[in-house]
């Protein structure tokens, strides 16, 4: 009996020690009003959101999810005194050097510029030899009276963020709406704006078959064929523990059918062969 009591006390102390070690919960930051709504309602949309929340259920390190504007993310992550992570960040060489980084939580086709303007109306000099737009500024300078939709507080990746910052505000229509993807599509289709930066899956799922057929898209120079979303963390000791658990749970998730199914729901059918190849590369660690 005495041994049982001692064992129980030791077990309780161990639990208390573990909880004390985790008293400073890891804060998972994001800058998506739409995701904040998903967390509140439980109605998930988008591959990254579905995968992240599914895998987070397997993580034992306590965490909380907070919304912040995108401009504050790096400052919060750079504070090494508090365990912090950022959700849904593109994998880039610079971020790999600066932060702890999860393996990919989603794979997407790179962003494109969408418009109703017919291909024949674009001047040749704004394209490179591969048919890609040389830059957003080259595009907008060629159409000085046109507007491009930009989601306020959103990050398009370092390359496009820099290009967007260089555009004339007279040519930028900033959007901050609850259903921003649907609103963006309506503005584009109703000629309230002329260009929008979107993923193919976003354009496909927020328009009818007839409306989607009216749109033309162009790849952008400097963007890779596929984009990989991840979780970035600072180098606080608890962040290391969180990232280790998250990556282990994510590796297990890669072996399930849901890894493909979550993506297939959001990728247009013509991209599914490419999707399978990209997902297999992630599983193989390439």
CA angle (139 as vertex; 137, 144 as ends), nearest 5: 85
Gap between the Cα atoms of 181 and 151, Å rounded = 9
Neighbours of 270 (CB within 10 A): 9
Q: What is the pLDDT of residue 278?
A: 86
Residue that wins the pLDDT comparison between 261 and 33: 261
Residues 6+ apart with CB under 8 A from 205: 266
Whether 206 has a pLDDT exceeding 90, the answer reads no
pLDDT at site 226: 78
Architecture of domain 24-108+227-283: 3-Layer(aba) Sandwich (3.40)
pLDDT at site 25: 92
What DSSP letter does each residue of 134-156 carry, written as one string? S-HHHHHHHSTT--EEEETT---
Percent of the chain with pLDDT over 70: 90
Question: For the domain with range 111-218, which CATH number is right: 3.20.20.120, 3.40.190.10, 3.40.50.300, 3.40.50.720?
Answer: 3.40.190.10
Query: pLDDT: is 132 or 80 the higher one?
Result: 132
What CA dihedral angle connects 260, 265, 271 and 272, to 10 degrees?
40
Domain parsing of the chain, residue ranges? 24-108+227-283, 111-218
pLDDT (mean) for 167-183: 83
Give the residue with greater pLDDT, 240 vs 179. Answer: 240
3-class secondary structure, 123: coil
Q: Please report, rounded to a whole number, the percentage of residues in the chain having pLDDT higher than 90.
A: 52
101-145 tens-digit pLDDT: 999 999 887 899 999 999 999 999 999 999 999 999 999 999 999
pLDDT over 80 (residue 3): no
Burial of 260 (0-12, 13-18, 19+ CB in 10 A): middle
Same fold for the pair 24-108+227-283 and 111-218: yes
Q: Are strands 26-30 and 84-90 parallel, antiparallel or unpaired?
A: parallel
**Ramachandran angles phi, psi of 100, nearest 5°:** -70, 140
Q: At what angle do helices 33-41 and 47-56 cross, to 10 degrees?
A: 50
State the pLDDT at residue 14.
40
Question: Coil, strand or helix: which one is 63?
Answer: strand
With 90 as the cut, is the pLDDT of residue 202 above it? no
Instruction: Check whether 2 has a pLDDT greater than 60.
Output: no
Of 70, 232, 109, 222, the residue nearest 159 (C-alpha): 222
CA dihedral 104, 108, 109, 115 (to 10 degrees): -140
CB contact set of 235 (below 8 Å; sequence gap of 6+)? 80, 99, 100
Q: Is the pLDDT of residue 203 over 90?
A: no
Residue 48 burial (CB count, 10 A): 25
């Amino acid at each position: 009996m005495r041994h049982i009591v001692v064992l129980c006390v030791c077990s309780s102390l161990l639990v208390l020690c573990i909880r004390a070690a985790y008293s400073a919960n890891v804060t998972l930051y994001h800058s998506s009003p739409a995701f904040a709504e998903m967390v509140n309602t439980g109605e998930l949309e988008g591959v990254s959101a579905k995968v992240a929340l599914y895998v987070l259920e397997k993580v034992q390190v306590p965490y909380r999810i907070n919304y912040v504007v995108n401009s504050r993310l790096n400052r919060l992550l750079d504070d090494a005194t508090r365990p912090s992570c950022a959700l849904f960040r593109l994998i880039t060489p610079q971020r790999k050097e600066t932060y702890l980084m999860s393996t990919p939580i989603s794979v997407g086709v790179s962003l494109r510029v969408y418009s109703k303007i017919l291909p024949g109306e674009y001047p040749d000099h704004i394209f490179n030899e591969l048919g890609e737009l040389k830059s957003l500024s080259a595009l907008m300078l060629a159409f000085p009276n046109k507007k491009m939709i930009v989601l306020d507080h959103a990050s398009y990746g370092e390359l496009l963020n820099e290009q967007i910052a260089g555009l004339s505000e007279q040519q930028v229509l900033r959007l901050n709406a609850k259903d921003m993807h649907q609103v963006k599509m309506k503005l584009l289709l109703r000629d309230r704006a002329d260009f929008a930066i979107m993923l193919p899956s976003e354009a496909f799922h927020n328009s009818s078959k007839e409306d989607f057929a009216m749109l033309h898209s162009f790849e952008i120079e400097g963007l890779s064929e596929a984009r990989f979303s991840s979780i970035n963390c600072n180098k606080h000791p608890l962040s290391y523990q969180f990232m280790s658990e998250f990556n282990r749970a994510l590796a297990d998730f890669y072996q399930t059918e849901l890894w493909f199914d979550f993506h297939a729901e959001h990728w247009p059918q013509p991209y599914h062969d490419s999707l399978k190849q990209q997902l297999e590369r992630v599983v193989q660690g390439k």
